[in-house]
Amino acid sequence: MDNGTNSSSNSFNSSSNGTFEGVPPPQPTKSFWTNLLLPALYLIIVAASLYTFSSTYRKRQLAKTAKLEPWFPHHRQRDIYLSLLHLDPSEQASSGDGDSEKKLSRVPDSVLKAALLQRALEDIKRIVQLRQAKPALQTLLQRGSVGDELWQRLLRAEQEMEAEVKDVVNEANAFAPEWGQVIFQSANEMNQNLLIKQRMAEIQDTLESEKAWWDKKRAVIQSDFMKELEEADGKPAEEAKAADAAPVANKKNGSSDDDAVIVEAGGPAQAQGGSGKGKKKGKK
Amino acid sequence: MEAPDTFLQLPLTIDPATKAISSADSTLSADLDDLNKLHRTLLALETPQQTPPPPAPVHPKRSVQINKLRESGNASYKKGDFSGAITLYNLAMRMASERPSWEASGLVREELSALYNNRAQVHMAQQNWAEGSVDAECSVELKRVGNLKGWWRRGVCLKEMGRTEEAADWVKTGLEFERVGPEKDKVAELESLLKEVNKGLEKP
């Protein structure tokens, strides 16, 4: 009997150990959570600091690039084009004619196309400038003569340029199908023609000064020659003076005298010219 | 450059009758002049959309006219009518440079180079060495290689004016360009000119 009760009480005890029903579970020891607290706190602090650092750093970079001075001056042609696009001429007070037919409801397409072409032309000029500047700036940067900021400005200008080009192509396609591809070819040719005209104008400008120089020199040669013709035997002093009076720009006369002589002075002077020249050479 | 989504609204006005653009702001006047000129040339276009055609296939009308003027200029020169030749050449040059600016610039270069060469020749025949040298320089500027005559002409003009060092440098540069060009077999003329010029340098 006792064994039975013992075993039953034992089994009771053991069964009660198994289920935990009537008894509230013992608290997990506080030290478990406090143990977990420190690493968790550490992780939270690390994550928070990384996040703040990255966001502040990115904001600062953005601010720096925004503060970067633009590479090119203001794009005038772009402003003209966009202003025309948004212009509403019906708002303008008509000066003379009150005819409603003459009032434009919007700026005509042809004007816009011309403005877009001008914009493309300016873009081409800028692209050429950028392409020339880039390798030079790279070399300078490698040698360490310039800071990084200039390079950043150049890169930014290139990015803006690409966006601008895409914009122009889209606008061109809006006016006429496939004009987008052609417009930059046309603008390129326009640029080349402009350069040709400028170069020709430069060279032709030198014409005036060249003509003046040559006329002066020819006058001097002629006067020298006339003097030599007057004196039959050619006095040394006067020849020396004539030799010194030659133009200050110390270009040698050499054979040119022969031609000038033959053309200007005519036949009989030739023989005398030859003798006069021989004497002149003696003095040099 | 400003941000891509902003722009500066400029105070522009358009004249309804002439469709010319003008502005109160005087700094824009040069740009607006160009714009109005371009607009007028665009209006004269015959293409369906009134947009400039691609630069490559150029309408031959203008080239034919320029050629005709050049030929008549050559004829006047051969007859000895120098001033008439110059007038014709000038007219041809004006035609060539007033071509619409979006047409192929290579064509403009060829035509102008030939015309400048011919005009230089006329000047040389009249012994106007200064004008001749400037025109020959223009011609060479437009066409560096394959332009033996241009190099030669300016060399001769410089020599005649007595500028022998410049002439020697010029002819040497010309030889460098032409030796690798399409006319490299004909450089003998240029070489003989160089010899003459060098002789002139060594004389006194």
Q: Does B21 reside within a domain?
A: no
Residue A56 in this model has a pLDDT that exceeds 90: yes
Q: pLDDT tens digits for A193-223? A: 889 888 888 888 888 888 888 888 888 888 9
Q: Does B184 reside within a domain?
A: yes
Confidence at A48, pLDDT banded by 50, 70, 90: very high
Residue A21 in this model has a pLDDT that exceeds 70: no
d(CA A58, CA B118) in angstroms, rounded, equals: 66
Q: Does B154 reside within a domain?
A: yes
Higher pLDDT, A105 or B57: B57
A100 burial level (CB within 10 Å; 0-12, 13-18, 19+) = exposed
Residue A125 in this model has a pLDDT that exceeds 50: yes
> What's the pTM value of the predicted model, to 2 decimals?
0.68
Q: Does B13 reside within a domain?
A: no
Per DSSP, the three-state class of B13 is strand
- Rounded to two decimals, the ipTM of the complex is 0.83
Best of A186, A208, A221, A222 to disrupt the B interface (most B CBs within 10 Å) is: A186
Domain limits at B101? Answer: 57-202
Contact A189 B102 (CB under 8 A): yes
Higher pLDDT, A22 or A169: A169
Q: Does B103 reside within a domain?
A: yes
Indicate the number of domains in chain B: 1
Looking at the partner chain, which of A70, A193, A213 has a beta carbon nearest the beta carbon of B105?
A193
Confidence at A130, pLDDT banded by 50, 70, 90: very high
Spatial contact of B44 and B98, defined as CB atoms under 8 Å apart: no
Tell me how close the Cα of B161 comes to any Cα of chain A, in angstroms: 6
Residue A184 in this model has a pLDDT that exceeds 90: no
Q: Does B87 reside within a domain?
A: yes
- Which of these, B199, A250, A216, B158, lies nearest to A224 by C-alpha position? A216
Q: Does B160 reside within a domain?
A: yes
Residue A280 in this model has a pLDDT that exceeds 80: no
Contact B108 A97 (CB under 8 A): no
Looking at the partner chain, which of B1, B8, B131 has a beta carbon nearest the beta carbon of A70?
B1
Using H for helix, E for strand and C for coil, what is the string for chain A?
CHHHHHHHHHHHHHHHHHHCCCCCCCCCCHHHHHHHHHHHHHHHHHHHHHHHHHHHHHHHHHHHHHHCCCCCCCCHHHHHHHHHHHCCHHHCCCCCCCCCCCCCCCCCHHHHHHHHHHHHHHHHHHHHHHHHHHHHHHHHHHHCCCCHHHHHHHHHHHHHHHHHHHHHHHHHHHHCCCHHHHHHHHHHHHHHHHHHHHHHHHHHHHHHHHHHHHHHHHHHHHHHHHHHHHCCCCCHHHHHHHHHCCCCCCCCCCCHHHHHHHHHCCCCHHHHHHHHHHHHHHHC
Q: Which residues of A touch B9 (CB under 8 A)?
A: 79, 82-83, 86
pLDDT at A262: 42
Confidence at A189, pLDDT banded by 50, 70, 90: confident
Average pLDDT rounded to a whole number, residues A219-232: 86
pLDDT in tens, chain B (204 residues): 456 677 777 777 777 777 777 777 777 788 888 888 888 888 877 676 777 777 777 778 888 888 898 899 889 888 888 888 888 888 888 888 888 888 888 888 888 888 889 998 898 888 888 888 888 888 888 888 888 888 888 888 888 888 888 888 888 888 888 887 776 667 777 788 788 878 877 765
**CATH assignment at residue B116:** 1.25.40.10
Name the residue in chain A with its Cα closest to that of B116.
Answer: A200
Q: Does B34 reside within a domain?
A: no
Looking at the partner chain, which of B16, B43, B97 has a beta carbon nearest the beta carbon of A110?
B43
Q: Which residues of B touch A83 (CB under 8 A)?
A: 7-10, 12
pLDDT at A269: 42
Tell me how close the Cα of B66 comes to any Cα of chain A, in angstroms: 17
**Residues in chain B, how many?**
204
Q: Which residues of B touch A117 (CB under 8 A)?
A: 38, 42, 52, 102
pLDDT over 70, % of chain A? 65
What is the interface size between A and B, counted as CB pairs within 8 Å? 193
Neighbour-count burial for A233-257, b at 16+ CB within 10 Å, e otherwise: ebeeeebeebeeebeeeebbbbbbb
Instruction: Kindly give the pairing relationship between strand B21-23 and strand B12-14.
Output: antiparallel
Name the residue in chain A with its Cα closest to that of B130.
Answer: A211
Looking at the partner chain, which of A157, A189, A196 has a beta carbon nearest the beta carbon of B55?
A189
pLDDT at A6: 52
pLDDT at B52: 77
